[in-house]
């Protein structure tokens, strides 16, 4: 079982870390995926985390879950075509996609909110 948690500057700290650690506790291999691999991203309350992968690295067919945390990060994510494409592919492949708080902005940008 594998999961992606999206990351970008301005993520809401607990909306990223809580699902991240709960998924790990449930046995998932979890990767932080941001615009650039290896870059450090900053949460709204000062948490610093590094992206394991860039948005165009993962093959979504290899994953089961995508989590989009809230905060101001989704507004930045929706302006990044690679992040939008990743979410669109995840929905099209039938992955479980969770969007917390402001996360649905990315779903709207990916045009996957129908119904």
Catalytic residue, candidates 102, 107, 110, 112? 102
Ordered alpha helix ranges (H), the chain: 13-25, 73-77, 81-92, 104-109
Cα 106 to Cα 1, 22, 50, 70: the distances in Å are 24, 22, 21, 10
Q: Tell me how far apart the alpha carbons of residues 96 and 115 are, in angstroms, rounded to a whole number.
A: 16
Sign of the alpha-carbon torsion through 9, 15, 18, 19: negative
104 is annotated as an active-site residue: no
User: Is 88 annotated as catalytic?
Assistant: no
Q: Which entry of 79, 89, 101, 104 is annotated as an active-site residue?
A: 101
Which residues participate in catalysis according to the annotation?
101-102
């Amino acid at each position: 079982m594998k999961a992606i948690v999206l990351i970008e500057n301005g993520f809401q700290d607990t909306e990223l870390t809580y699902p991240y650690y709960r998924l790990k506790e449930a046995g998932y291999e979890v990767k932080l995926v941001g615009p650039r691999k290896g870059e450090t991203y900053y949460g709204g309350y000062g948490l610093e985390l590094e992206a394991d992968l860039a948005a165009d690295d993962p093959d979504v067919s290899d994953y089961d879950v995508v989590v989009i945390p809230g905060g101001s990060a989704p507004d930045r994510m929706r302006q990044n075509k690679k992040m939008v494409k990743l979410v669109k592919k995840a929905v099209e492949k039938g992955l479980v996609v969770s969007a917390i708080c402001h996360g649905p902005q990315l779903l709207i940008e990916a045009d996957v909110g129908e119904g």
